[in-house]
Amino acid sequence: MKNWLLAVKQQLSQQIINNKLPHAMLFSGVQGAGHEEIAQWLIKVLLCQQPIHENSNEALLSLQPCTDCKTCKLFASNSYPDHLTIVNEKNTIGVDLIRHLSQFFQRTAHIGHAKTALVNNADTMTVSAANALLKTLEEPTTDSFIILTTDRSDMLLPTIISRCQKIEIRPPVGDKLLAEFNHQGDDAFINLSHLNELTDSAAEIAFAEFRDMVQYYLCENRHRNEVLATLVNNDDGFRWLEKILVDLMRDHWGWQISKNRNQYNISINRQQIWQVYNLVQATNIKLKTLVQVNRQFITEKLLAEISLVVQKTTKK
Ligand SMILES: [Zn+2]
């Protein structure tokens, strides 16, 4: 288990024991932070007929599913009738799936006292799906729990977020994180691949190279193909691009691409960065919400739009 999840489990366990757990929960974090793991744990604990109290200290108590009762066994074999997991097909969660979820909550529980539903990658809901979910969130049925997870809570409708208890899972960074993984043995390698540039020096180098390419591309219209290739082929590409732009906005004052600026260097102003950032965000939404999407085409279109923004304002 990731050590940093323990405090979250303790907090949630306390809420369950005090009967203070809200009807809707949203767990977010960067990929691999453990939000999906927490969601799974919470569902098992909620459904288990006799959860185990770990640790004798009341204040630091964390519940665990017993793994032995009828519901635990049914859940483990994927045949527990009072739980529903929504799976995003074709990269989006459509309105039909959410309607199915609403109907699921309308029916009485078959076995247990509680009913649970899990929506992973909640940010991939289409707008109509999100609106349908809002209705369910507004009219909770007794002992029903909706659990949402997302790597991108900024892509969720604010109205959804405001109806959930939101818990952001933040893993420690840098050496602390590596130390954390070293405690876990082999399992670490699976997780390391998710937190890429924080943990893996190869990914860190790839990120740094991409950052340079993006800066050259924005300033001098060079390295377009390298930027395009990373965005199309690297799963982290778009997230990296956003991170670079946010960093640029933050440090804009001191930012220069090279000390020996020549006549071809173009400075890029804050407004341009902001415009580029918005274009990237819009493309990201398209990539997430369109059912059939040609990643190459959409990314090329984005780069063309970025070029326009950068060139237009620099001619002034
Ligand atoms: Zn159990």
Does residue 166 sit within a domain? yes
Does residue 29 sit within a domain? yes
Do 250 and 153 have their domain in common?
A: no
Q: Which residues of the chain have pLDDT under 70?
A: 1, 56-59, 173-201, 250-267, 291, 312-316
Dist. CA 39 → ligand 1 center (Å):
16
Dist. CA 13 → ligand 1 center (Å):
15
Cross-strand pairs, 25: 147, 165
Contacts of residue 173, defined as CB under 8 A and 6 or more positions apart, other chains included, come to 198
β-strand pairing of 24-28 with 165-168: parallel
The pLDDT score that the predictor gives to residue 55 is: 75
On the CB side of 124, how many CA atoms lie within 13 Å of its CA? 20
* CA 166 centroid distance within chain: 13
Dist. CA 45 → ligand 1 center (Å):
8
One DSSP character per residue, 241-278 reads HHHHHHHHHHTGGG--S-SS--TT-----HHHHHHHHH
Dist. CA 65 → ligand 1 center (Å):
5
The pLDDT score that the predictor gives to residue 290 is: 73
Do 117 and 231 have their domain in common?
A: no
1 contacts 171 by C-beta, under 8 angstroms: no
Count of structural domains, the chain: 2
Domain of residue 102 covers 3-192
Dist. CA 248 → ligand 1 center (Å):
50
Do 78 and 145 have their domain in common?
A: yes
Dist. CA 22 → ligand 1 center (Å):
21
Do 171 and 73 have their domain in common?
A: yes
Dist. CA 228 → ligand 1 center (Å):
50
Do 84 and 162 have their domain in common?
A: yes
Dist. CA 68 → ligand 1 center (Å):
5
Dist. CA 300 → ligand 1 center (Å):
52
Dist. CA 5 → ligand 1 center (Å):
21
Q: Quick one: 165 exposed, middle or buried, by C-beta within 10 A (0-12, 13-18, 19+)?
A: middle
Give the DSSP H/E element, type plus range, for residue 105: helix 95-106
The pLDDT score that the predictor gives to residue 260 is: 38
Dist. CA 251 → ligand 1 center (Å):
51
Do 100 and 238 have their domain in common?
A: no
Dist. CA 46 → ligand 1 center (Å):
9
pLDDT in tens, 65-93: 999 999 999 999 998 999 999 987 778 89
65 contacts 42 by C-beta, under 8 angstroms: no
Boundary (domain end) residue, out of 166, 192, 218: 192
Residue 107, Cβ neighbours under 10 Å: how many?
11
Do 187 and 220 have their domain in common?
A: no
Number of H helices, E strands in the chain: 14, 7
Task: For the chain, state the CA radius of gyration.
Answer: 23
Dist. CA 74 → ligand 1 center (Å):
10
Selection from 167, 206, 138 nearest residue 8 by Cα: 167
The pLDDT score that the predictor gives to residue 186 is: 41
Give the span between the Cα atoms of 88 and 148, in whole angstroms.
12
Dist. CA 279 → ligand 1 center (Å):
48
Residue 78, Cβ neighbours under 10 Å: how many?
8
The pLDDT score that the predictor gives to residue 287 is: 82
The pLDDT score that the predictor gives to residue 43 is: 96
The pLDDT score that the predictor gives to residue 265 is: 42
Do 16 and 150 have their domain in common?
A: yes
Q: Quick one: 66 exposed, middle or buried, by C-beta within 10 A (0-12, 13-18, 19+)?
A: middle
Dist. CA 75 → ligand 1 center (Å):
9
Do 80 and 115 have their domain in common?
A: yes
The pLDDT score that the predictor gives to residue 176 is: 62
Do 103 and 205 have their domain in common?
A: no
Q: What are the tokens at 21? A: 């757990």
Does residue 316 sit within a domain? no
**CATH number reported for the structural domain that contains residue 306 in this entry:** 1.20.272
Give the span between the Cα atoms of 16 and 240, in whole angstroms.
38
149 contacts 116 by C-beta, under 8 angstroms: no
Q: What are the tokens at 201? A: 């020096």
Dist. CA 306 → ligand 1 center (Å):
54
Boundary (domain end) residue, out of 192, 220, 236: 192
pLDDT in tens, 254-271: 444 444 333 334 467 778
One DSSP character per residue, 115-154 reads EEEEETTGGGB-HHHHHHHHHHHHSPPTTEEEEEEES-GG
The pLDDT score that the predictor gives to residue 207 is: 86
Q: Residue 291 corresponds to which amino acid?
A: V
Residue 259, Cβ neighbours under 10 Å: how many?
5
Dist. CA 28 → ligand 1 center (Å):
26
Boundary (domain end) residue, out of 158, 192, 226: 192
Do 117 and 172 have their domain in common?
A: yes
Which residue has 């757990």 as its token pair? 21
The pLDDT score that the predictor gives to residue 191 is: 39
Do 222 and 290 have their domain in common?
A: yes
Dist. CA 40 → ligand 1 center (Å):
14
115 contacts 142 by C-beta, under 8 angstroms: no
